[in-house]
Amino acid sequence: MLTSTLSRHKTFSLPGWRCAFASILISLLGALALLALLACSTLAEEVRNPFSGNPKAAKAGEFEFRINCAFCHGLGARGGGRGPDLTRAHKRHGDSDADLFQNVSQGIPGTVMPANGTNGQGVGMTDDEIWQIVAYLRSVQVQSPAKPIGDTTRGKEFFYGDANCSSCHMVEGKGGRLGPDLSAVGSARTVESLVESVRSPSQRLAWGLTESTKEFAQEYETVTIVTSDGQQIKGVALNEDQFSLQMMDTTERIYLFEKDKLRSIQKSRRSMMPTYDATTLSDHDLDDIIAYLLSVSAK
Amino acid sequence: MSAPQLNKLPGILLLIVGVLAVETHAQVTFERLLNSSKEPHNWLTYSGDYAGRRFSSLDQVNTANAHSLAAKWVYQTAATGKFETTPLVVDGILYATAQDNRAFALDARTGRPIWMYQHQLPPDIRPCCGRVNRGLAILGDKVFLGTLDAHVIALDAKTGNVIWDVSAVDYKQGYSFTLAPLAVKNLVILGISGGEYGIRGFIDAYDANTGQRKWRFYTVPGPGEPGHDTWEGESWKIGGAPAWTTGVYDPGTNQLFWPTGNPSPSNRGEGRAGDNLYSNSLLALDADTGKLNWYFQFTKHDEHDWDATQVPVMIDSGDKHLIAQANRNGFFYVLDRTTGKLLSANAYSRTTWTDSKDAEGRPIPNNQSSPTPEGRTVCPGALGATNWMSPSFDAQTGLFYVTAREQCDIFSTAPQPYEVGHAYYGSAYFPSDKAEPYWGALRAVDPTNGQVKWEFRHLSPTWSGVLSTAGGLLFTGDAEGNFIALDASSGKPLWHFQMGGAVYASPMAFAVDGKQYIAIAAGSSLYVFALP
């Protein structure tokens, strides 16, 4: 299915960056850049959802969405524990019909978003069914999401300062490595889930992954091990299998262990991230931090 | 002039005798399939024997030396997606399939290809769960392949050339073949896939020589046939009940025991009121005619996609002729295979869908099991307590080994109109954010009482089946890419090898020139291990 989709769509599913790259290349050669851009925009124009504005197709798309996408993106497309909120008009990996089709059909490299038919859950979709999903997403799209209420400048100060987020989290290349990089989290998670992650960080500490997204665990499980000579090391699991463990401690040192050589291994679903309740971080300050994260990911 | 001729004669005679010997040996007759235990160096059927045991009586590799196992060769398929094959091995040649309906023959000692074949698939095939295939059948000088566009193909075992190619049904309606066929007498037997597309399931038998269809058993009875009244209205026409796992064969009674899958739509019972025969059943079919002798339905009117498509295993205990199945619904069933009578049903994994049994002893659903629009948490989840990965039965330990999955899902109905060739689930499922992480285990079940004797816990659920061997070993793979040898009596791990790709296949064993090998597909490669 994947190969067929590829072959049938290669004529027009040229992603934006390739157009940009082509135009740069061509502009080096001369004044053909305009022509290249025209070609790109012509290609983009060709890709229109055949079911655009068709409520029946959007309804069919809802069925498909529940079967194929809700597992990660939630029943109403408002984001699950793993997949981003898709009701937002601005999507990190492209907003056009062509982008959405491409992302469903081919997956998004470098993320856990799998190509159509490869997620091990449910069935692969036909091109029409993918377009129905695009129609559904358009039907639930929130045109003008509520503006974040916080102060982004103050949020940034907090992130790198008093709230101490940056000791473990990186944003735009600056910060710690123990926790997830948060540069894109604003576009990948709902505000509600961001609040929850700060207020009760263990709540959603990744609950199981489907096999296809398991290449890297990245569950940020807390691990405490005791070596054969009695040394205790606490940190975050980078990866693990039945026989070995790769982990990072709070000083960002990476350890590689064979499990049978350790005296003990304790794993915990309690995140190493401290719980920030309202007394340690006020709602007001948290709003500012979230506003900062949203502003970064909107870039 | 005469002298040289005389001198040549013995040589020519030797040559003829030699060629004849090889020819005779190369033919995989039905007799050889029946007596596969007499040639433990070969692996002649999907499950290694007609009983479905996936047991090898080779014992060169055993509990004392398994720690020194090493990779001997690796064959890379250059394909992507789940690699589910179980190879066959006949007299030093390994035959297997790979993704996208590839088939190949290799030198089983070195992994060097002898031939390769790939079926040209149309662009609009509708396999539900990947471009997968689980293996070949062999009979005479042919190997047999079922394809994703629902063709049955006979290939010359020596060249890979197509001998015949027949279409079983219109693939555009959602039909496909993913299983390894089973060769019995002069027949090639296959069950169809497509339970997620509102097909009408069937099991077919083809003449191995000509490709002519000899019989078809529809797993959803038509008008006037017994069981037809277990379907509401016209729902039988799109009733599903595929048969996508290789069944087993009992030569004593000339019966096939073939398991069937879910009714369609898989997770929504509305519109198909009734038991929905013969979905989620074990069928006893006359091998010559395809006539139904008896059936046992494990899950009536299924709403959780709990296909009964797990390899059933024939077990003889004294004068008792039994058949056992670790079912996707979480129960381990033992039946009398002469009559189809249920003897016992015991949970081998966490189950929340049942609290009681019917008069026959069959677990029946409670009032908290049906999917709802808002969603309802049920264990096991949609992928089941186990799935198609093969179990194993070892007569030496008397234990039945099954790969188990501990996962609960939220089942939510998603009413959906039927459309030809389109996915037809009628529901969605997903984990709740309160759900525990999934995990898996290899469990050893005592079939005499249905109790789990021990388990080897996997870090996460695996799609690997299990092989048991006379060396007192079990072999299985995990989702993290390890191939593991365990002590069959205790479950203690003795050896492992990191293959770099998740396992979606069941292991097998063979021997060439007196040396034992163990094979498993992982990632996109076939790995073969032996002692140094």
Query: Do A189 and A260 have their domain in common?
Result: no
How far is CA B509 from each of CA B42, B89, B285, rounded to the nearest angstrom?
8, 9, 29
Domain presence at residue B18: no
Residue B343 pLDDT exceeds 80: yes
CB contact under 8 A, A214 and B81: no
pTM of the model: 0.87
CB contact under 8 A, B437 and A63: no
| Residue B345's CATH number | 2.140.10.10
Domain presence at residue A46: yes
Query: Do A26 and A163 have their domain in common?
Result: no
Q: Is A289 on the interface with B (CB under 8 A)?
A: no
Give the Cα separation of B418 and B428 in Å (integer). 16
Which of A81, A204, A240 is facing B459, going by the closest CB pair?
Answer: A240
pLDDT at B400: 98
Q: How far is B459 from chain A (nearest CA, A)?
A: 6
The residue type found at B287 is: A
Q: Which of B128, B425, B434, B524 has the highest number of chain A CBs within 10 A, making it the mutation to test binding with A?
A: B425
pLDDT at B8: 46
Q: Is B498 on the interface with A (CB under 8 A)?
A: yes
Q: What is the pLDDT of residues B360-402, one digit of tens each?
A: 999 999 999 999 888 899 999 999 999 999 999 999 999 999 9
CB contact under 8 A, B429 and A71: yes
CB contact under 8 A, B436 and A207: yes
CB contact under 8 A, B428 and A75: yes
Structural domain range at position B274 = 26-530
CB contact under 8 A, B124 and A204: no
Residue A13 pLDDT exceeds 70: no
Edge-to-edge strands of the sheet including B508-512? B70-76, B525-530, B515-522, B508-512
pLDDT at A23: 42
The pLDDT confidence band at residue A211, using thresholds 50, 70 and 90, is very low
Write out chain A residues lying below 8 Å of B197, CB-based. 123
CB contact under 8 A, A125 and B423: yes
Q: Which residue has the higher pLDDT, A132 or A144?
A: A132
Structure-token pair, residue A124: 């692969």
The pLDDT confidence band at residue A76, using thresholds 50, 70 and 90, is confident
- Cβ atoms of A268 and A260 closer than 8 Å: no
| Average pLDDT, integer, range B25-49 | 94
Query: Do A285 and A233 have their domain in common?
Result: no
Q: Is B164 on the interface with A (CB under 8 A)?
A: no
Q: Is A207 on the interface with B (CB under 8 A)?
A: yes
Q: How many domains does chain B have?
A: 1
Q: How far is A153 from chain B (nearest CA, A)?
A: 33
Give the Cα separation of B106 and A258 in Å (integer). 35
Domain presence at residue A177: yes
pLDDT above 70 covers a percentage of chain B that reads 94
CB contact under 8 A, A243 and B130: no
Q: Chain B residue with minimal CA distance to A193?
A: B433
CB contact under 8 A, A241 and B480: yes
| Average pLDDT, integer, range A204-209 | 49
Query: Do A100 and A182 have their domain in common?
Result: no
Q: What is the pLDDT of residues B442-454, one digit of tens each?
A: 999 999 999 999 9
Closest CA to A16 of A130, A73, A100, A111: A100
Domain presence at residue B2: no
Q: Which of B132, B305, B416, B463 has the highest number of chain A CBs within 10 A, making it the mutation to test binding with A?
A: B416
Coil, strand or helix at B265: coil
| Residue A288's CATH number | 1.10.760.10
Q: Which residue has the higher pLDDT, A6 or B198?
A: B198
| Average pLDDT, integer, range B189-211 | 97
Which of A120, A122, A208 is facing B438, going by the closest CB pair?
Answer: A208
The pLDDT confidence band at residue B431, using thresholds 50, 70 and 90, is low
Domain presence at residue B242: yes
Structure-token pair, residue B93: 């040649």
Which of B124, B414, B438 is facing A67, going by the closest CB pair?
Answer: B414
Query: Do A186 and A254 have their domain in common?
Result: no
Domain presence at residue A147: no
How far is CA B96 from each of CA B354, B435, B521, rounded to the nearest angstrom?
40, 39, 10
Query: Do A236 and A281 have their domain in common?
Result: no
Q: Chain A residue with minimal CA distance to B410?
A: A71
Task: Calculate the average pLDDT of chain B.
Answer: 93
| Average pLDDT, integer, range A38-62 | 74
Which of A1, A124, A208 is facing B431, going by the closest CB pair?
Answer: A208
Structure-token pair, residue B143: 């190997």
Query: Do A284 and A256 have their domain in common?
Result: no
The pLDDT confidence band at residue A139, using thresholds 50, 70 and 90, is very high
Q: Is B493 on the interface with A (CB under 8 A)?
A: yes
Give the Cα separation of A172 and B327 in Å (integer). 50
Q: Chain A residue with minimal CA distance to B481?
A: A241
Domain presence at residue A217: no
**A196 phi, psi to nearest 5 deg:** -60, -40
Q: What is the pLDDT of residues A155-171, one digit of tens each?
A: 999 999 999 999 999 99
pLDDT at B26: 64
CB contact under 8 A, A241 and B433: no
Query: Do A50 and A10 have their domain in common?
Result: yes
pLDDT at B409: 87
Residue A205 pLDDT exceeds 70: no
SS (H, E, C) chain A: CHHHHHHHHCCCCCCHHHHHHHHHHHHHHCCCHHHHHHHHHHHHHHCCCCCCCCHHHHHHHHHHHHHHCHHHHCCCCCCCCCCCCCCECCCCCCCCHHHHHHHHHHCCCCCCCCCCCCCCCCCCCCHHHHHHHHHHHHHHCECCCCCCCCCHHHHHHHHHCCCCHHHCCEECCEECCCCCCCCCHHHHCCHHHHHHHHHCCCCCCCCCCCHHHCCCCCCCCEEEEEECCCCEEEEEEEEECCCEEEEEECCCCEEEEEHHHEEEEEEECCCCCCCCCCCCCCHHHHHHHHHHHHHHHCC
CB contact under 8 A, B460 and A214: yes
- Cβ atoms of A108 and A17 closer than 8 Å: no
- Cβ atoms of B365 and B354 closer than 8 Å: yes
Q: Which of A69, A82, A133, A211 has the highest number of chain B CBs within 10 A, making it the mutation to test binding with B?
A: A211
Domain presence at residue B9: no
Q: Is A160 on the interface with B (CB under 8 A)?
A: no
pLDDT at B429: 75
Closest CA to A214 of B461, B382, B477, B133: B461
Q: What is the pLDDT of residues B44-61, one digit of tens each?
A: 999 999 999 999 999 999
CB contact under 8 A, B423 and A214: no
Domain presence at residue A245: yes
Q: Is A59 on the interface with B (CB under 8 A)?
A: no
Q: How far is B189 from chain A (nearest CA, A)?
A: 26
The residue type found at B384 is: G
Query: Do A97 and A165 have their domain in common?
Result: no
CB contact under 8 A, B430 and A243: no
| Residue A242's CATH number | 2.30.30.100
Residue B309 pLDDT exceeds 90: yes
Q: Is A265 on the interface with B (CB under 8 A)?
A: no
Give the Cα separation of B520 and B501 in Å (integer). 11
Averaging pLDDT over each range in A17-26, A109-118, B354-363, which range is the top one?
B354-363
Q: Is A260 on the interface with B (CB under 8 A)?
A: no
Across-strand partners of B455?
Answer: B443
Q: Chain B residue with minimal CA distance to A207?
A: B437
**Whats the size of chain B, residue-wise?**
532
The pLDDT confidence band at residue A111, using thresholds 50, 70 and 90, is confident
Domain presence at residue B322: yes
pLDDT at A146: 62
Q: Is B435 on the interface with A (CB under 8 A)?
A: yes
Q: How far is A157 from chain B (nearest CA, A)?
A: 32
CB contact under 8 A, A242 and B480: yes
Which of B124, B438, B459 is facing A4, going by the closest CB pair?
Answer: B124
Q: Is A117 on the interface with B (CB under 8 A)?
A: yes
Query: Do A167 and A66 have their domain in common?
Result: no
Query: Do A184 and A281 have their domain in common?
Result: yes
Please compute Rg for chain A using Cα positions: 22
pLDDT at B25: 56
Task: Calculate the average pLDDT of chain A.
Answer: 78
Q: Which of A2, A4, A7, A67 has the highest number of chain B CBs within 10 A, making it the mutation to test binding with B?
A: A67
Structural domain range at position A281 = 152-204+274-297
CB contact under 8 A, B431 and A240: no
pLDDT at B22: 41
Give the Cα separation of B498 and B504 in Å (integer). 15
Query: Do A230 and A129 have their domain in common?
Result: no
Interface of A with B in 34-53 (CB under 8 A): none
Residue A194 pLDDT exceeds 70: yes
Averaging pLDDT over each range in A264-273, B120-129, B317-326, which range is the top one?
B317-326
Structure-token pair, residue B233: 């209205």
Q: How far is B314 from chain A (nearest CA, A)?
A: 31
Residue B345 pLDDT exceeds 80: yes
CB contact under 8 A, B130 and A125: no
pLDDT at B388: 98
Which residues of B participate in catalysis according to the annotation? 305
B494-497 long-range Cβ contacts below 8 angstroms, 24+ apart: B494/B63, B494/B66, B494/B67, B495/B66, B495/B67, B495/B68, B495/B69, B496/A242, B496/A243, B497/B69, B497/B71, B497/B527, B497/B529
Q: Is B529 on the interface with A (CB under 8 A)?
A: no
Domain presence at residue B129: yes
Domain presence at residue B16: no
Among the candidates A140, A165, A188, a domain finishes at A140
Q: How far is B254 from chain A (nearest CA, A)?
A: 37
Q: How far is A204 from chain B (nearest CA, A)?
A: 6
Domain presence at residue B100: yes
Helix, strand, coil fractions of chain B, as percent rounded to 5: 10, 40, 50
Q: How far is A67 from chain B (nearest CA, A)?
A: 5
Q: How many domains does chain A have?
A: 3
